[in-house]
Amino acid sequence: SVGLNVARIGTSLVFVGETDSTNTLAYRLAEDGAVEGTVVIADAQNRGRGRLGRQWESPAGVNLYCSIILRPPIMPLHAPQLTFLSAVAVAEAIERSAGLAPVIKWPNDVLVNGFKVAGMLNEMSAETERIDFLVLGIGVNINMQRDQFPTDLRHPASSLAIEAGHEVSRLSFARALLESLDVHYSQYRSEGYAPLRQAWLGRSAVMGRRVRVSGNQGDMTGTVEGIDEIGALLLRTAHGTLERVLAGDVTIEG
């Protein structure tokens, strides 16, 4: 037993040595009826995935690659709200287990000292009216060394160990993460999205900042005023209009 103190998340744990992607494995388990809160953790991934078909570097023995199965009674439209669950929980776990000061960059990056140390990839199976299940994929660079990073990364990256200057226990980190996810998800189930949105805004690196967003809506520049009910970024443009951005990559300016 790993001594988890949880109500929902991690009540069932699946550990594997190497897999293609924990998201793919969790998705298959969910299709086969795995209960809400099932967590899949792999030591290594040989086809770790980022967003938009990108690759997630997943060497063995150093990091955390995990996927969590959730079955919230919500509409598919509201699924992006759960992106913020992972980001908030990862930030809390980094603070608690490594004593670092992480911030969240919309929508899904967690940064320490400006470096990306974690990424999230949520996937879902849904019909028009309701979600069947969600898979929250979380990758955290814990003890990855500088020479293990590819040189052509989209965003400057690092690991908790590099930033803290010492090794960080993967087990303590995983425990802190699952407990944090459990607390926030229970609150989400009982009180809805508002507390989660507040927690996210409190840790956001983009709130009130001038940013550039590139995505399928083209390039846009503006000042961030918050996030809305479905997780879209609210951007005040130079023309004074308020734009809602549903997807894209954010660069903080100035």
Binding site, annotated residues for biotin: 21-23, 45, 49-51, 116
Q: Which residue, judged by CB position, is nearest to ligand BT5 in the bound state? A: 119
| Cβ atoms of 100 and 159 closer than 8 Å | no
Which residue lies nearer to ligand BT5 by CB, 10 or 137?
137
- 3-state SS, residue 208: coil
Letters for 33-62 (x = contact with ligand BT5 by CB under 6 A, - = none) are ------------x--xxxxx-xxxx-----
- 3-state SS, residue 182: helix
| Cβ atoms of 182 and 10 closer than 8 Å | yes
Of these, 111, 157, 162, 196, which contacts ligand BT5 (CB under 6 A)? 157
Q: Where are the alpha helices (DSSP H) in 72-159?
A: 81-98
Interface stretch with ligand BT5, choices 65-73, 83-91, 93-101, 126-134 (CB under 6 A): 65-73
| Cβ atoms of 87 and 120 closer than 8 Å | yes
> Exposed, middle or buried by CB within 10 Å (0-12, 13-18, 19+), for 219?
exposed
Minimal distance, residue 47 CB to ligand BT5, in Å: 7
Point out the annotated binding site: 21-23, 45, 49-51, 116
Give the footprint of ligand BT5 on this chain (CB under 6 A): 21-23, 45, 48-52, 54-57, 65-67, 116, 119-121, 137-139, 141, 153-154, 157
